[in-house]
Amino acid sequence: MTLIILPGIGGSGEAHWQTIWQSEGSQWVRFQPTSWDHPELDDWAQALDEAIRQTDEPAILIAHSLACLLVAHWAARSQLARRVAGAFLVAVPDPDGPRFPLAEAGTFADPPSVPLPFPTLILASSNDPYASFKHAERRAFDWKAGIIDVGALGHVNSASGLGAWLEGRRLLTAFRSGAHRSNG
């Protein structure tokens, strides 16, 4: 399976767990929108389509923050969603929350509230400044996703000081194993 990294705004810098995981080998691919700092939903969706087209294998989407909303929008409109074996969504932001960057990312607001067409797991922090745990539970319910409380890890980003985030990696390995069996 191909593992597609979907960073949020800013693109997940060198100290972010997504970038560290990606450095582990060739099965990791990072989608490439036109701009990490000025996100537009259509552009990011096209970049995700392109990343899916680049692989001959089923893909696991590993999304952080704004890219979690991308996955929901994209799954509702792309024929390529059938090539996804699963989505691992970390720190789903609340577009109605006070910290959501509406001016920069308004096109991502109002994601579909329908089940995602592939196995999905949401990892949520109990003290994420961009979304309450209750919000993550609502998204899990809407998207028919599993949910795991990863504890008080802030926005689960480089500012959280996670480095390679070994617990997250173990959770991804378990999720990937289950997705492999269901697509197998």
For the segment 77-103, what is each residue's pLDDT rounded down to a tens digit? 999 999 999 999 999 999 999 999 999
CB environment 43-63: b (16+ within 10 A), e (fewer): ebbbbbbebbeeeeebbbbbb
CATH code of 2-183, in short, is 3.40.50.1820
Indicate the pTM of the whole model. Answer: 0.96
d(CA 76, CA 157): 27
Q: What is the pLDDT of residues 129-145, one digit of tens each?
A: 999 999 999 999 999 99
Question: How far apart, in Å, are the Cα atoms of 78 and each of 28, 75, 144?
Answer: 21, 6, 19
Q: What is the pLDDT of residues 131-181, one digit of tens each?
A: 999 999 999 999 999 999 999 999 999 999 999 999 999 999 999 988 765
